Structure formats: C-alpha cells, structure tokens
Structure 1
Amino acid sequence: MSDARRPASHARRAVAAQPGLEVRRRRTMPHVGGRLRAIGVDVTVLDLAHELDSEDDVVGLVCDAVRAGVLPGRLLLQAGERRFLRHRDLVVSLLGEEGTGIESPLEHRYVRDVERRHRLPAARAQVRERTGGRWIRVDRVHVGLGVRIELDGQLAHPSGRTARDTWRDNAVLIERSEITLRYRWQHVVAEPCETAVQVASALRSRGWQGRAAPCSPTCPVLA
C-alpha cells in the first residue's frame, strides 16, 4: 500500500472543534471490556488530577468523582499502578482511611490545617442522625464532648448560614445540649490558628482534658 493510501495513525487523527468538547490524544488505549478500546472513568479522573496545580482543585475533583459513583478502590488501584502521578500522596490519603469522611476542599483544609496541625482530637465525620423530627447530617462531631463543627463552603452555603442551618443548630442545642461551631473559608484558610484556639476552647469547656499544640513559634495557641 502506498503512503498516500495508508490510514493515518490514531494519534494523528483530527477532530473538529465543538462547544463543550476538549480533545485529549494518547498513543495507547487500554482494554476496559468488549471490543472497543476506551478510557475508563477512574483513569480519566487520575488523568485530570495529574494536570491540576492546586491541591484544592484535586480534592474537589476526587470528591466529585466519588459522589458521582466512581469507586475509591478502583482509583486507589489505578493510582498505585502509575509510574508517575502528581499529587499521588494527596489522592491516596483522600481515598484511604486517613481521608474517610472528607467531602470538600474546605473540609480537607480544616482537617489538615486546624485539627491535625494543632493536635486537636479527631472528630467523627459525616454523622447522620435524627434531630427535631428530621434527618440531618453533621460535617464533624466530637462524640462525648457535645461539640459539632459545620463547614460552610461557598457551593452549599453561598451566603453563609441558611434558615435551615439555624433551625438545625437550635434543635441540636435544645435536644442534645450540644453546641455547633460554623466556619467558612476565611476562618479555615486565612485564620486556621485562631480557629484552632476557638475549637480547643469549646472542647475544654465541655470536659476535654488535652491541650492544643502550636504549629509555629508565633501560633496564638501558645497563649
């Protein structure tokens, strides 16, 4: 067959630009099942994570993928088989035991920069319970100490605490005598140390015998 009649390689085929379509090319395609070679969703998630620069974007991508039905076990398996993957440690920590219950970039930052960095006791994540005749879910609960943490991200709470949040906080206080501390990006990202001081104070007021640890020589936890 002459070169003029030889089929073009898959890697060189052109696709016309279309709204909402972004073309990625690769020279080898894995088998996902059946006769057609295709890229699986889990592989695509890791491909996208590899290209991201921001840790917050990686956390958001992985959390969205898991909520959409991508199995964490398959993502972990694919991550382990890759020779090179940016943010590998972050992806593995989010999908493994260490990241259990983390469902947003804000929550990831809270656990990392407020809770763990200042050695506060670990809270139970994503607790579902019935309060005030309604089913509610709590971001983080310090079981036995009566302190709850709600993280109001921009997506779910664009204008701060909602009317439903206020009702829920009141019901929890009345029925369980538990307090709810609410934090937004400003508190977690710009003021993690000050937030740790407040959480520690709340925990100690409810019987916690430990002490928060400063994360630096200038950390206000020292005071």
Structure 2
Amino acid sequence: MAYGPDAALGGETALRRYGLDGDWAAEPVWLDLPHHRRVRRQPGIVIRRCRDLDGRLLGSREPPIVRLEVALLTVASRRPTTDAALALILDACRQRRTTPRRLLEELDRLRNLPRRRAITQVLRDANAGVESWLELVYLERVERAHGLPTASRQIVASVGGATVRRDCLYDPYGVIVELDGRTGHADVASQWRDMARDNAAAVDAMVTLRFGYQLAGDPCAAAAQVAAVLTHRGWPGHPTPCSPTCTVRAEGLGSPTARKRRIALPSSSRAD
C-alpha cells in the first residue's frame, strides 16, 4: 500500500470496501496515517493523520482498514450539513451494517469529532426505534417540537400473514403515522403493501396518517393534522406551538365542533 504498512484505508474508501450502500467514488483514496508521520502528498490520495490509529483498526486485516464505525462517524462529520450527516448514520443502521449502540461506544472514543452532540442525540433516538432521516424529522420537528405524546416506534404487526413494521403508533388512541421516503415505497408492489397495511389497520379501527418528504418543509401542518386526529380519538392533551408563526394552536381542539373543524384538513396540507 502507498505510504507503507502503517497506512490504513479510511473514510469513504473504507465504507466502499465494507460494502455500505452509498455513492462512494473510487477516487480519491482515503488513507489514515499515524499522527507522527510526515509524507509527501500524491494525486488521487487524501491523507488523514490520527493520534490513535492502532486503536481504530479492524483486527489484523490486510490491507489495514479502520473499523466501519470509525469510518462512518468521520465521514458523517465531514458532510456539508448536519441533516446530511445524520441521514448517513441512520441509513447505515437501517442497512443493519452497524448498530446505534456500537456507534455510541465508538463516539465515546472520538472526543473531538465535529457535530458530536447532534450525532449523539440521533444515535440515542435510533436506539429508541428511529430508522431514517424522515423519522428523525417527525420525532424532532413534529412530535417533540409541538408537545405531542410520544409514539412507540417500529412496532411489529402481522398483516395477511406477513410481518410489517409500523413507523409510529399512538397505541392508546389507535393512531398510526407512517413516514414514506421514496426508498422502499416507490414500486407498485410496495405501494400495494402499504395499502394492505393501511386497510388492515382500518379493520382494527385504527387511523393511519401517511407523510412524505413534504414533512420537512412544513412540520407544523403535519403536527396540526396529527394533533387533530389524536384529539378526536381521545387524547386529553393540547399541542404546543413551536414558534410565534406556528400554525398549530394549543386552544380550541377540545370541543367536538373544533375537532370536526380540525379534521377537515385543507387539501394543500395533505400527504401525497
């Protein structure tokens, strides 16, 4: 390997070698080197010097390579936005290539990692069942930001003999929230599966609300819809406006007249 036997594959090159799904370019090659090394730069190679490289390697692999969790966290920390960083981490967990617990353990050793606080929080949420960036948006910007009750997440259910997972379940009120990014919901078979799941929920007297990526652009509209349905189904609480311009109102959800008015949702705020 270039730069000698103490160089290790790192960054995007390591993720590509591990087979993690993603748009990983073959070049440049990312190499991690011991911090004391001083080397001449070469075209097509990106060097990153580490103080504890030996403690980051995966066993005695040849060529040397950093652990998947190290590569994932360092690549995520270099993403241009925090949302992009968190989406990458959640996607790796969704692919079952690693776990939130293993990433949290690795994070304890990377004390100076950029965006460490945000990554720690999303890994704790992932440990509680959040599996995608869209689910994270719903948890943070809809549920928590507007004082909605806490849903159970990734609940296993049986539909027609098949096992399915419900993204968010407000079990005391029979309300389900499904969060549909394009991945896993774009083909016809997946759409039929989603329809069967929603119909089965209706048979069990449960209401399903379904949101896509428009959720990120207008989380307040989604919160108003979820709060209205929860109130109609017996939730005794009140949503909390997240800002002075929030379209959610804490007052007026309790009466039957207000419930009906809230449930008559405007077409501009319906999920596609």
* TM-score range relative to shorter protein: 0.7 to 0.9
Q: Matched residue of 2:230: which SS?
A: helix
1:71 Cα shift?
A: 3.4
Which residue is equivalent to 2:89? 62
Displacement of 1:113 in angstroms is 0.4
Q: Are residue 48 (structure 1) and residue 75 (structure 2) matched?
A: yes
On the 8 A contact 2:100/2:126 being kept in 1, the answer is: no
Amino acid at match of 1:195: A
Q: Is residue 2:132 matched to residue 1:104?
A: yes
Q: Indicate the residue corresponding to 2:195 in structure 1.
A: 166
Deviation of 1:159 after TM superposition, in Å, equals: 7.2
Q: Deviations over 1:117-141 (max 9, x none)?
A: 0010010000001134332210100
Counterpart in 2 of 1:32? Answer: 58
Deviation (angstroms), 1:164: 1.8
Checking the alignment, whether the CA contact within 8 Å between 1:50 and 1:87 is kept in structure 2 is yes
- Per the normalisation by structure 1, the TM-score is 0.83
Gap regions ≥5 residues in structure 1: 1-7, 14-18
Q: TM-score, normalised by structure 2?
A: 0.69
Deviation of the 1:162 alpha carbon = 1.2
1:68-96 Cα offsets, whole Å, 9 max, x none, are 33133332122122231122122212222
Would you say 1:94 and 2:122 are equivalent positions?
yes
User: Aligned residue for 2:145?
Assistant: 117
| Aligned residue type for 1:34 | S
Q: Residue type of the partner of 1:173?
A: A
SS class of match (2:182):
coil
C-alpha distance 220-21 of structure 1, shift in aligned 2 (>3 A): same
SS in 1 for 2:29: coil
User: Which structure has the higher relative contact order (CA within 8 Å, separation 6+)?
Assistant: 1
2:159 maps to what in 1? 131
Amino acid in the other structure paired with 1:151:
L
Q: Secondary structure at the match of 2:173?
A: coil
Matched, 1:198 2:225: yes
Where in structure 2 are there 5+ consecutive unaligned residues?
8-24, 35-52, 252-272
CA 1:99 to 1:196, structure 2 compared with 1: closer, same or farther past 3 Å? farther
Aligned-pair identity in percent equals 35
Q: Deviations over 1:23-50 (max 9, x none)?
A: 1133213243238643111111111112
Contact 1:115 1:122 in 2 (8 A): yes
SS of residue paired to 2:32 = coil
What's the C-alpha RMSD, in Å, of the aligned pairs?
2.5
Opposite residue 23 of structure 1, the aligned amino acid is: V
- Once the two structures are TM-superposed, the CA of residue 112 in structure 1 deviates from its matched residue by 0.6
- Note if 1:20 corresponds to 2:12: no
Q: Count residues with an aligned counterpart.
A: 208
